[in-house]
Every structure is written in C-alpha cells, then in structure tokens.
Amino acid sequence: MSRTIMLIPIGGGVGLTTISLGMVRALERQGARAGFFKPVAQLRLGDQGPERSTAIIKNATNLTPPDPLRMHYAESLISSDQRDVLLEEVVARYQQYCSQDDVVVVEGLVPTRRSPWANRANIDIAKALDAEVVFVATPGIDDAGQLRERVEIAQSNMGGSKNKQILGVIVNKVGAPVDDQGRTRPDLSEIFEGSELQTHASTDSILKAFKHAKLPLLGCIPWTYDLIAPRVQDLVEHLRASIINEGDIKDRRLRSVTFCARSVPNMISHFKPGSLLVTSADRPDVIVSACLAAMNGVEIGALLLTGGFEPDESLMDLCKPAMDGGLPVLLVETNTWQTSLNLQAFNLEVPTDDPLRIEQVQDYTASHIDEAWIESLISGSERKRKLSPPAFRYQLTELARQANKRIVLPEGTEPRTIKAAAICAERGIARCVLIGNPEEVHKIAEQQGVTLGEGVEIIDPEQVRENYIAPMVELRKHKGLTEVVAEEQLEDEVVLGTMMLAQNEVDGLVSGAVHTTAHTIRPPLQLIKTAPGSSLVSSIFFMLLPDQVLVYGDCAINPDPTAEQLADIAIQSAESALAFGIEPKVAMISYSTGTSGTGSDVDKVRKATELAKSKRPDIVIDGPLQYDAAVMENVAKKKAPDSPVAGQATVFIFPDLNTGNTTYKAVQRSADLISIGPMLQGMRKPVNDLSRGALVEDIVYTVALTAIQSKQLD
C-alpha cells in the first residue's frame, strides 16, 4: 500500500518544485520506490509547457509520472460545480500510475491571483488521495516567530492539531536575500545595487522557534547561490541573443553580472570566473581586456555586447585565442539600459533540460530533509529494496565522511583534480593532498573560481622529494635500486604519491586524469604490492543503472586470467559489492549457459565457478551464464531455471579483459548511464585509477571509494 505525502505551499514563491525534487531524491537514497504526481498543471505566465515539475522528474529520474490535468480543464470543472468529477479524475490517474510505489510525493497547487481556488483544491485533493500533508514555507520578510505563526494558521485552517494527517513543515530558502515585498532577489548582478536586499530568519532561529511548535520541522533548506547559476545558453534563449562566438556556451555558468561602464582599471576586479561582462559593442578596450583575462586563464562566463552592431573584424582576429579557448561572445540589439531591464526579468528557475543543475538541486535539498523522518515513511514497506544509484552515491559520501581519510592526488595541478579536491573538502568526503607547486595550484584554482579551504593540503614535490629516496631504496633493494635511480623516479609525482602511501603518510591514492592506467598502477604494484591472501590485483566498475547498481569485473586490469585467477576475481568482486551495500549474486559470464556449450573458453569459466564455490561456499555464485540469462528473469526461466543467480545477478564476472571492457563501455554509452571506477581490488593499500576523460564528479566519487576502502583495510 502506497503512502502518499502531499506538499502544500503556504504562500507563493516557496520553491515547491525544489522540495518535490529533494523529497524524491531523499526517498531514493533510502532505497524506496518513490513516485511523483502533480494533479493539475500550473504554468507560469508566458510558459508554454510542459509542466515544469513533471518534466524535470521525467528527465532527471527513472520515474514516469502521469501528465497532470490541464489548468483550463480543472478550472472549467470547478466553475461548473463539477469538483467531484475533477477529484475522481485525479484519483483515477493516481491509481493508474502510482499505486505500486512505496511513497508518492504529490505536489500541490500554489495560490495565486489567477488561481484563488488553489487552497481549497489542495485540501480536497489531499482528502481524496488520503494523503498526509507537509506544508512548505519560506521566511520571506518574517522572522522565525512570525514564520511559525503563519504555519500554525495554515494548520488551523486544515483542522488544527486534531488533523493527524498533517505531518509537519519544510522551510525553504532560509537566508535568501529578499526585497521589502518579501520576494527573493538573488544578488546576481550590479543591477541590484541600491536595492535594500536583506535576510531575516536564520537557520538557527528557525530551529529554535520550531523546537516546541505544534508541528515538527521536517526540513530547513538554506539558500545558496550555487544552485541558481544558469548556463550561458539559458541567457542566450532569454535575450534572443546572436552568437558571435559559441565557445563553451553549453557548459559555462554565470554567477555574477558586471556592467562595464567604467574605465578598465576600475573594472578589472570584476573580471572573475563565471562573470557575465556586459558592454557596448563600441568599447574595444573592454573587449580586449576581457579577452586578455580569458587568455590568462580566467574562465569568464561570457561577454555580452549591446547595441546591435558587431565589433571590428580585425579586433575579433586579435581576440581569437580567447575565443578559441572557449569564451562565449554574444550580441543583443538592445542598448545597455534595456539589456539591464531584460536581465532583471531572467527566470532563475531550474530548466527542464539542465541535468547537472537538477542533480545539484536534488542532492542539496535532500541532504537538508530529516533523514529519520524519511526512513519512517518507508519502514513499513515489505518490498525488497534495490540499491538505487542515488542511494549508492549517498552511501558512498556518508561512508567516506565517517572514514575521515587522507587521500593523495598526484595530479595536483590538473584543473578537474583541483575542483574535485575542493568539493571533497567542502562535503567532508576526504582530506585531499594535492602534489604540485603551491603557487601554480592556487593560480589554477583562482582562475576556475575554486576556493581551496582547510580540508585541502598542497605539498610542493621539490620540498619533500629527498625525504623518500632512502625509504624507496629500502623497499626496492632486492631489485638493486640505487639512490640515483630512486631520485630520478621520484621526479614522477605518481611515484612520489605512492611513496607517501607506502610510508603511511596518506591513506590512499587516486590518479589517472592525465596518466595512463599503467602509469598509475605500476608504482603501487612495485612499492605497495598485493594484500595478504590476494594472488592478483583486479578491478571492478559500479554500473549505475536507472533502478539499481551492478558490479562488473574485471574490465581494466587482467587481459586473460586463468580459471584460478578468474575465481579469485569473482571472490574479490563479491566482497567489494558487499562492502558497498550490494547483495552479491555472482554471475560468471560466458557465451553459453550451463552445460550447453563446449570449448576451452567456456570450460575455463566452468572451472572458475567450481573453484570459487569451493573456496567461498558462503557466496552465491553460478556459471557459466550468458549475459541475458544472468540479468533477465524471463530468459533465466528458460535457460537456467534452477540457478540461484540467473535473472537476478548483481555481480558480473567477465572471462577476459576484451569481453569485460567492451561490455562495460557498450552498456555505459548505449544506455547513457554513469559508471564509477575502475576500483582496484587486492592491493595492500587502496590505489584507484581514473579515466582520462573523467569528470569532476567522477574524481569525487573515486576519492570517496578510496577512503572507504582504506577504512575497510584498517
């Protein structure tokens, strides 16, 4: 039986879509099957659809919520006294699409001048769906005490404390800058200079005010500028701007706006990463200065030229290196004053097609919703939960925080690595050590707008290299290593980082953003060696499918393992899966299932299966299995009806590197899913390799994996 939670706003501008996204993510983190339902579409003035919340949920999750009823249709039923017909249709859609979910998040209507009937409709829909109610509010210009009074009035209007269906309140946009009308006005631009932007209730004051309130506080979401940074392409669409140079228009985000009306020396301090520089097209001094800043590594968001005429071609040729480096240059017909007015009208809501920003909003909001309350919503569910991708990622970061490990990143001057280190420090995932010249590291960080806080340490290799010569000679003396050769090898930061790990100065190592797998793994194999009881080093990838996480091994290290090695890889992979919350059901993959095939390749898999079972009878292992028999229940019933693994495998062991690497990349690219790894298994200390195409988030999660591995080896 589904449990239904209806989010009902107290007033307008509470960020209802944000809370809906956060609720769904918080439920997914707990392994629940979450549902979402918006009964009636509520489009903003001028919005052509589709309905924003439903579209975002469809695009950002594996959920398929029903399309909401059109507002015009709902209003026609209400105006013709057919409210019961409206409610029946709402219930019918709910039953058709949401009845199998553990918890369904229902998003209510926002009361506006165009929809004065919204409050009444919310109450009726909540009753019709037998939904429990959670109010969503924002402080606006109220202090914490006034906010609490507003919430209690809303509770009173729905039956007061006698109504046990009202569960509590989530307060959003805490600490947001607001004008004297209580409207949220993010200080995105100098446009707002002189406006009396102010904040009222703080997180601490709200927590204190609701400590003994009639309704419990279920979430308190602080305002942050990081979640409102639009892409340059969003601004292009809003302004209907012409594109002089596309650059990184799809990836760069805007965090501030500067109107370049002063002399260049008085504006240079505003040439910052993420800044939109607005200037008249007849200001060549500003254009050249902005391009010089870009060529010096400052990742300016975009250059917006006003006035409608393109700058001189020779000037653009002079600035070509900056544009080749990714600087977007835009042109609008309006003058600077009209452009400033148009910018004020820019909608900072999350676009339906911006997956990165949606992901950030979901994770941030979910992290500020009471975890114990979310757990209580699904505690009575009898459905067996799968470890969903959001639950897996959340578990990674939580376990890494608890581990509190120190991880070395030898590629300390690589921009993605620097960003990842800052994120790890900010989230408390690990204490990262960057190897590199401190001045260069700080310069690259500043150019990217990255702040390296206390959780990031920078070690200058020139200052410490000689400290590891003697220990390295001692570790490799059986190979005849001399001090001269050791000093030469320590010029390589990966070797230096490996020695730091060997000397127990750090707890793990992550590399590979600019180095090959062999370059990353060779020094640890020589200096760290394998763990006791491990005959080899292998790897796994965590494949984040829409509804669960699977483990693939070995897809990165061993080209053609023997049956004995394949058995060890299966055992290592099962243990890794279990350590990260995945129930291991190991499928030994081959081109045939059971006894149907013959040949040396399938015989190897058959022998490996028998060896693995004899070594670890406590692990559920079966093979040989074809991939479709391992993953699809209907195929499993035909090909392997008696298998304890077929149709429900969570760990897939491939017979060789060619098969494993090809399969993981085919699945990843064809299904457009995220994979985390490779994570190395069998090392005495954790070392992990990155793909050279790794994104910043890939590095962050690999650091988290490494920290958790280190904790497990303690």
Q: Where are the domains of the chain?
A: 3-225+354-378, 232-344, 389-506+515-527, 538-682
- Find where tokens 């408390």 sit: 428
> What is the model's pLDDT at position 195?
40
Average pLDDT over residues 337-366: 87
> What is the model's pLDDT at position 192?
37
Contact (Cβ atoms closer than 8 angstroms) between residue 53 and residue 37: no
Q: Is 108 left (phi over 0), alpha (psi -120 to 50) or beta?
A: beta
> What is the model's pLDDT at position 47?
66
Q: Does 380 have pLDDT greater than 70?
A: no
CA dist., res. 386 & res. 420, Å (int): 28
Contact (Cβ atoms closer than 8 angstroms) between residue 15 and residue 56: no
Average pLDDT over residues 631-636: 91
pLDDT higher at 501 or 129: 501
- Of the chain, the percentage scoring pLDDT greater than 70 comes to 95
Band of residue 447 on the pLDDT scale cut at 50, 70, 90? confident
Band of residue 694 on the pLDDT scale cut at 50, 70, 90? confident
CA dist., res. 275 & res. 254, Å (int): 6
> What is the model's pLDDT at position 162?
86
Over the chain, what is the mean pLDDT? 88
pLDDT higher at 640 or 46: 640
> What is the model's pLDDT at position 437?
95
Average pLDDT over residues 662-679: 86
565: tokens are: 């090695």
Average pLDDT over residues 416-421: 95
Task: Say whether domain 232-344 belongs to CATH 3.40.50.970.
Answer: no
> What is the model's pLDDT at position 556?
86
If residue 415 lies in a helix (H) or strand (E), which one and from where to where? Answer: helix 415-427
C-alpha distances (whole Å) from 337 to each of 194, 218, 281, 315, 330 are 16, 44, 14, 25, 16
**3 state SS of 253:** strand
> What is the model's pLDDT at position 196?
44
The size of the chain, in residues, is 714
Q: Does 189 have pLDDT greater than 50?
A: no
99: tokens are: 């009845």
3-225+354-378 CATH fold = Rossmann fold (3.40.50)
389-506+515-527 CATH fold = Rossmann fold (3.40.50)
> What is the model's pLDDT at position 341?
86
Q: pLDDT digit string (tens) for 47-89? A: 666 888 899 988 888 788 988 999 999 999 988 888 888 988 8
Band of residue 39 on the pLDDT scale cut at 50, 70, 90? very high
Band of residue 443 on the pLDDT scale cut at 50, 70, 90? very high
Q: Does 446 have pLDDT greater than 80?
A: yes
Band of residue 292 on the pLDDT scale cut at 50, 70, 90? very high
> What is the model's pLDDT at position 601?
85
Helices marked H in 429-562: 438-447, 461-464, 469-475, 483-489, 493-502, 517-527
Average pLDDT over residues 407-426: 94
Average pLDDT over residues 515-538: 87
Band of residue 202 on the pLDDT scale cut at 50, 70, 90? confident
Contact (Cβ atoms closer than 8 angstroms) between residue 293 and residue 321: no
CA dist., res. 206 & res. 28, Å (int): 27
Nearest to 201 by CA among 142, 148, 149: 142
538-682 CATH fold = Rossmann fold (3.40.50)
Q: Does 99 have pLDDT greater than 70?
A: yes
Give the largest Cα separation in the chain, rounded: 93
> What is the model's pLDDT at position 194?
37
Lowest-confidence segment of 87-96, 297-306, 475-484, 594-603 by average pLDDT: 594-603
Residue 69 is given by DSSP the state B
Band of residue 187 on the pLDDT scale cut at 50, 70, 90? very low
Nearest to 192 by CA among 311, 308, 376, 346: 346
Q: Does 617 have pLDDT greater than 60?
A: yes
Nearest to 433 by CA among 354, 506, 355: 506
Contact (Cβ atoms closer than 8 angstroms) between residue 635 and residue 628: yes
Lowest-confidence segment of 416-420, 543-547, 704-708 by average pLDDT: 543-547
Band of residue 263 on the pLDDT scale cut at 50, 70, 90? confident
> What is the model's pLDDT at position 548?
83
CA dist., res. 650 & res. 644, Å (int): 12
Q: Which amino acid is at 502?
A: A
> What is the model's pLDDT at position 191?
39
Q: Does 383 have pLDDT greater than 70?
A: no
Domain 389-506+515-527 identical in fold to domain 538-682: yes
